């Protein structure tokens, strides 16, 4: 127990807002699995973030439990880590509000993810989407996290989290640990298979542009064979060949094979065999996970047990930080 308390803390989360992609898996989940021995980890299903855009209630329910199953199937051990659902810990919403009152409209308006989404949804965006990064800051700061393992697209949200924490610490007194992003060297930005200048995203309109964690093997093979590449015809890790570079990254992260070795293996061979091998690597990585997800998802009692135990621990830690913050702000203790 003592040893556990001296471990550094990790917090991360994924939205249950759509089907998870290979980008989510390689940029976040696979990386989390490697960290669970060394750190005290909190892995959250961020349903409060998911409702910043409209969600069908029954789909949200299904996806929340599916995401928990995916966490476990990917190798996150529920006995060693705290797995929980964000809305089960009211301190996230409460601290979110308190931090909102310590955050400027201007800094939120500069967030690129907000700018992208507001462009896509026009006038129909919620105030929640604007305030999204503040809730994310609350998630992280409640647990006094040292590290936050995420993909590159979340880097700006980590920067604002640090700014908010520093501002609060300076205005009152040291309260929050200042967290660092933990971004993997490879796989932190898996690109769209049809347009490798964009990141792979579950919200793309074209299903051929992403691989889903739950895509059946034959779908994965078809999507990889249709990946947009180039007419150069040489397997090379180069910015001039973004499609090939992306497939090489995927192969590297899954198999551990270096880029030099991949280049050598496919010398003089064109793209067909290479694409085929990338597809097989993805299939052999995802197929066992899919089988486990399908078993877990039907065991509602097991899942309930995990998210309830997780929420209990998370509530305890989160409330400690929240009470401190409330006191410093000047609220009367209950």
Tell me the binding residues.
Answer: 15-17, 23-24, 139, 151-153, 190, 199-203
Tokens 């910043």 belong to residue: 52
Q: How many C-beta neighbours within 10 Å does residue 305 have?
A: 12
Beta carbon of residue 49, minimum distance to ligand TYM (angstroms, whole number)? 5
Q: Which of 7, 155, 189, 202 is catalytic?
A: 202
CA distance 169 to 296: 42
Pick one of 95, 98, 129, 151: the residue that binds ligand TYM (CB under 6 A).
151
201 burial type by CB count under 10 A (0-12 exposed, 13-18 middle, 19+ buried): middle
Residues in the chain, how many?
Answer: 334
By the rule CB under 6 A, 30 interacts with ligand TYM = no
- Residue 165 interacts with ligand TYM (CB under 6 A)? no
Among 154, 194, 227, 321, binds ligand TYM (CB under 6 A): 154
Residue from 40, 45, 49, 220 in contact with ligand TYM (CB under 6 A):
49
CA distance 164 to 48: 20
Contact of 184 with 150, CB cutoff 8 Å = no
Figure out which of the listed residues 10, 23, 40, 130 binds ligand TYM, where binding follows CB under 6 A: 23
Q: How far is 217 from 206, CA to CA, in rounded Å?
A: 18
7 is catalytic: no
Question: Residue 148 is encoded by which pair of tokens?
Answer: 């936050």
Size of the site for ligand TYM (CB under 6 A): 25
Answer yes or no whether residue 153 interacts with ligand TYM by CB under 6 A: yes
Element (H, E) at 324: helix 300-329
Cα distances from 165 to residues 48, 76, 133, 169, in angstroms, run 21, 29, 12, 6
State yes or no: residue 250 binds ligand TYM (CB under 6 A): no
70 binds ligand TYM (CB under 6 A): no
Q: Which is nearer to ligand TYM, 266 or 307 (CB)?
A: 307
Among the options 199, 223, 245, 275, which is catalytic?
199
Binding of ligand TYM by 13 (CB under 6 A): yes
Does residue 11 touch ligand TYM according to CB under 6 A?
A: yes
- If one asks whether residue 251 binds ligand TYM (CB under 6 A), the answer comes out as no
Q: How many CB atoms lie within 10 A of CB 259?
A: 17
Look-up: residue for tokens 């940029």? 27
Rule CB under 6 A: say whether 92 interacts with ligand TYM.
no
Using the rule CB under 6 A, which residue among 66, 139, 215, 277 binds ligand TYM? 139
Maximum Cα–Cα distance across the chain: 73
Out of 30, 54, 115, 117, pick the active-site residue.
117
Residue 31 neighbours by CB under 8 Å, 6+ apart? 149, 182, 184, 187
Is 117 labeled as catalytic in the residue annotation?
yes
Q: Which stretch binds ligand TYM (CB under 6 A): 188-196, 223-231, 276-284, 324-332?
A: 188-196
Distance of CA 80 to the CA centre of its chain: 19
CA separation for the pair 104, 241 (Å, rounded): 41
Shortest distance, CB of residue 318 to ligand TYM, whole angstroms? 13
Q: Is 66 in the site for ligand TYM (CB under 6 A)?
A: no
Active site residues: 117, 199, 202
The footprint of ligand TYM (CB under 6 A) covers: 11-15, 23-24, 27-28, 46, 49, 136, 139-140, 148, 150-151, 153-154, 157, 188-190, 199-200
């Amino acid at each position: 127990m003592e040893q556990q308390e001296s471990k550094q803390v990790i917090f991360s989360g994924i939205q249950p807002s759509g089907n998870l992609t290979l980008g989510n898996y390689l940029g976040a989940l696979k990386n989390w699995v490697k960290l669970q021995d060394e750190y005290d980890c909190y892995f959250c299903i961020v349903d409060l973030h998911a409702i910043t855009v409209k969600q069908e209630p029954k789909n949200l329910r299904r996806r929340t439990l599916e995401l928990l199953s995916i966490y476990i199937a990917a190798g996150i051990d529920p006995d060693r880590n705290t797995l929980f659902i964000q809305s089960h810990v009211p301190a996230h919403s409460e601290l979110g509000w308190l931090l909102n009152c310590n955050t400027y409209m201007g800094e939120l308006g500069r967030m690129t993810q907000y700018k992208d989404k507001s462009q896509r949804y026009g006038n129909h965006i919620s105030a929640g989407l604007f305030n999204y990064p503040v809730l994310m800051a609350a998630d992280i700061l409640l647990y006094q996290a040292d590290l936050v393992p995420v993909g590159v697209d979340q880097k700006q949200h980590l920067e604002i989290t640090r700014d908010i924490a520093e501002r609060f610490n300076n205005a009152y007194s040291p309260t929050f640990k200042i967290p660092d992003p933990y971004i993997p060297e490879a796989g932190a930005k898996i690109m769209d298979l049809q347009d490798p200048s964009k990141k792979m995203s579950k919200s793309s309109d074209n299903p051929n542009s992403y691989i889903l964690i739950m895509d059946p093997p034959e779908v994965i093979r078809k999507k990889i064979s249709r990946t947009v590449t180039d007419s150069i015809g040489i397997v090379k890790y180069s910015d001039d060949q973004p499609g090939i570079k992306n497939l090489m990254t995927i192969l590297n992260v899954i198999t551990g094979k270096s880029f030099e070795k991949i280049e050598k293996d496919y010398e003089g061979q064109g793209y067909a065999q290479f694409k085929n091998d990338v597809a097989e690597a993805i299939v052999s990585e995802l197929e066992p996970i899919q089988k486990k997800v399908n078993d877990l998802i039907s065991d509602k009692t097991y899942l309930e047990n995990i998210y309830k135990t997780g929420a209990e621990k998370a509530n305890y830690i989160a409330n400690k930080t929240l009470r401190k913050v409330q006191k410093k702000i000047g609220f009367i203790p209950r």
